[in-house]
Amino acid sequence: MHHLPPLPEKEFRSYAPGYWSSKNVSASDWNSATWQLKNRITTLAQLEEHLALTEEERAGVLLSGNKLAMAITPHYFNLIDPEDPNCPIRRQVVPRIEESWEDPDEMSDPCGEDSHMPVPGLVHRYPDRVLFLVTDRCASYCRYCTRSRVVSGVGEQELHTEFEAAFRYLERHTEVRDVLLSGGDALLFSDAKLDAILTRLRSIKHIEFVRIGSRVPIFVPQRITPELCKMLQKHHPLWLSIHTNHPRELTTEVRDALALLANHGVPLGNQSVLLRGVNDNAEVMKSLVHKLLMCRVRPYYLYQCDLIQGSSHLRTSVADGIDIIEQLRGHTTGYAVPQFVIDAPGGGGKVPLNPDYVLVRDEQRVVIRNYEGKTFEYPEPALVRR
């Protein structure tokens, strides 16, 4: 049984092979994305081989096939502290009975994507950009998944993306300049299949840039190969948004995978979800954003957890998120401070939330405060006063 260091963690570490040290796994297997995906923890028996589950976890695993499948890659599983039921990694991927709790405020589609889907698999909610849901599978399944209704193959809906219809829609809609590939996780596709999708998108002249949203570099960094990066490099400007919530997720393997992407000219951003018992703490968040910058990843968004069904045990208050931003802004470099947002329930889009730095605003002046609480007055120009 391996022991993990105390929190918060700012050093980069490798946890391999961890639980798999007794299984004589070869280095070539361990470093193969195919092996990682084939050897995911997907059953109660596999989970109990490695962890002493709580009653809440065991009941949650037994129910997980009803809503969102369980799957955890060996690489990511090694980050779990076996002695801590409240381990921040464990809380993200091990099901709990609380997922079955009913809350009248929760929704199956909290971001209103289905109502903004002109073509199956293509969400056009903002004027100049679209979300392209290219698959319903992920390397591992986050228990707070916004799309748990469609991902993993056991949700209440099935994703039936019509690729040709989506491409034709994009060709007709010249206002679209930005396409985000998500799902599911597009980096689970083979290099050839992903190359074909990107090539088709790149043939549409008014599409200026393409983004991929992926947790693959975190769950299975072995997937980030020189061959993949060379293929992505052909399609610039192409950006990658990764999803990390806790500093422990940034291992040496993840750092090296991100370096490979960055060295091939892929700009990297990070999106985190504010989660109770995971990162609802300013010191943990500061360690995370500092490690991200060391990986050449810009902290981009910190999301208030969506009102997804079965997520009440993981949601924090909005005040917690604002407080974390307050403890980052001015106390560390601005590059490290993400924008805290709520994806407005029902399809209202992302709404930014910030601490109150403007105290008074009228035609004569603006009174502001800084991170230390000191106040300053900025006079409005005379033209505005008239």
- Contact between 295 and 257 under an 8 Å Cβ cutoff? The reply is no
Q: What is the pLDDT of residue 152?
A: 63
Q: Give the model's confidence band at 158: pLDDT under 50 very low, under 70 low, under 90 confident, else very high.
A: confident
pTM of the model: 0.94
Given a cut of 70, whether residue 287 has pLDDT beyond it is: yes
> Whose CA is closest to 247, among 212, 214, 295, 313?
295
Q: Is 343 a known active-site residue?
A: yes
Q: What percent of the chain has pLDDT over 90?
A: 82
Residue tagged active-site, from 142, 229, 295, 305? 142
State the DSSP H helix or E strand holding residue 231, giving kind and residue range, or none if neither: helix 226-233
Domain 114-353 fold: TIM Barrel (3.20.20)
Average pLDDT taken over every residue of the chain = 93
How many Cβ atoms are within 10 Å of 327's Cβ, its own excluded? 17
Query: Domain limits of the chain?
Result: 18-99, 114-353, 356-386
Given a cut of 70, whether residue 1 has pLDDT beyond it is: no
- Contact between 271 and 243 under an 8 Å Cβ cutoff? The reply is yes
Q: Is 306 a known active-site residue?
A: yes
Residue tagged active-site, from 40, 67, 91, 129? 129
Q: Quick: pLDDT tens for 129-156.
A: 999 999 999 999 999 988 887 886 666 6
Of 105-109, 172-176, 210-214, 234-238, the range with the lowest mean pLDDT is 105-109
Q: Is 229 a known active-site residue?
A: no
Q: Is 350 a known active-site residue?
A: yes
Q: What is the pLDDT of residue 116?
A: 85
Residue tagged active-site, from 138, 229, 295, 305? 138
Q: What is the pLDDT of residue 7?
A: 65
Structure tokens at 99: 């997922």
Q: Quick: pLDDT tens for 322-349.
A: 999 999 999 999 999 999 999 999 888 8
Q: Is 357 a known active-site residue?
A: no
The whole-angstrom separation of Cα 225 and Cα 364 is 58
Q: Is 126 a known active-site residue?
A: yes
Residue tagged active-site, from 91, 147, 223, 315? 147
Q: Where is pLDDT greater, at 114 or 317?
A: 317
Residue tagged active-site, from 13, 298, 350, 369? 350
Q: Is 300 a known active-site residue?
A: no
Residue tagged active-site, from 29, 136, 280, 306? 306
Of 52-66, 259-273, 289-303, the range with the lowest mean pLDDT is 52-66
Q: Residues annotated as binding site?
A: 138, 142, 145
Q: Give the model's confidence band at 359: pLDDT under 50 very low, under 70 low, under 90 confident, else very high.
A: very high
DSSP 57-112: HHHHHHHGGGTS---B-HHHHTTS-TT-TT-TTHHHHS--GGGG---TT-BSSTT-
Give the residue-averaged pLDDT of 159-167: 94
Residue tagged active-site, from 125, 137, 177, 298? 125
Q: Residues annotated as binding site for [4Fe-4S] cluster?
A: 138, 142, 145
Q: Report whether the peptide linkage leading into residue 110 is cis, meaning its omega lies within 30 degrees of zero.
A: no
Long-range contacts of 320-324 (CB under 8 A, 24+ apart): 320/274, 320/280, 321/274, 321/353, 322/353, 322/354, 322/355, 323/282, 324/274, 324/280, 324/281, 324/282, 324/285
Q: What is the pLDDT of residue 385?
A: 55
Q: Quick: pLDDT tens for 246-257.
A: 999 999 999 999
Q: Quick: pLDDT tens for 27-37.
A: 999 999 999 99
Q: What is the pLDDT of residue 18?
A: 93
Q: Is 138 a known active-site residue?
A: yes
